[in-house]
């Protein structure tokens, strides 16, 4: 799967569904599932150095010369895993990505929502 590394604070906002645009100085023709990885920068209240969720990259809008808004939809939790980030888009083996299993999520409004137990076990333990 294609992946991108982003600083920890915006990653937490993406994970919570509050941030739906990521601003970059470069564009991509890629559209589809995108693994969101948090850089290793230690940031209080954030997860650092881990892949934390999947979003769908649905569009890239040019804002002005050299400025682009990447549009994200459909945030999905995964079992977070440690990862060394890279610049630009990069590939992460699909075998490393584990989505929540039955019993680890509920279906609300036709969307999978992880349980409080899942959140505490896999995410809260990683927040610094």
The pLDDT value given to residue 85: 84
User: pLDDT tens digits, residue range 17-73?
Assistant: 899 999 999 999 999 999 999 999 999 999 999 999 999 999 999 998 889 999 999
CATH superfamily of the domain spanning 2-99: Hypothetical protein. (2.30.130.30)
Domain regions of the chain by residue span: 2-99
Residues of the chain above pLDDT 90, percent = 75
DSSP letter at 24?
E
The percent of the chain in helix, strand and coil, each rounded to the nearest 5, is 15, 45, 35
State the sign of the Cα–Cα–Cα–Cα dihedral 80, 85, 89, 93: negative
């Amino acid at each position: 799967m294609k992946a991108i590394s982003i600083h920890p604070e915006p990653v937490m906002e993406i994970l919570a569904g509050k941030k739906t645009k990521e601003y970059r100085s470069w564009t991509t023709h890629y559209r589809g599932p995108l693994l969101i990885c948090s850089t290793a920068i230690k940031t209080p209240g954030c997860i650092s150095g881990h892949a934390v969720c999947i979003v769908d990259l649905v569009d890239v809008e040019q804002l002005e010369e050299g400025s682009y808004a990447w549009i994200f939809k459909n945030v999905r939790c995964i079992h977070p895993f440690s990862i060394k980030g890279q610049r630009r888009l990069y590939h992460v083996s699909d075998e490393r990505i584990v989505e929540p299993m039955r019993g680890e999520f509920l279906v609300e409004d036709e969307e999978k929502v992880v349980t409080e137990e899942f959140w505490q076990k896999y995410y809260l333990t990683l927040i610094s």
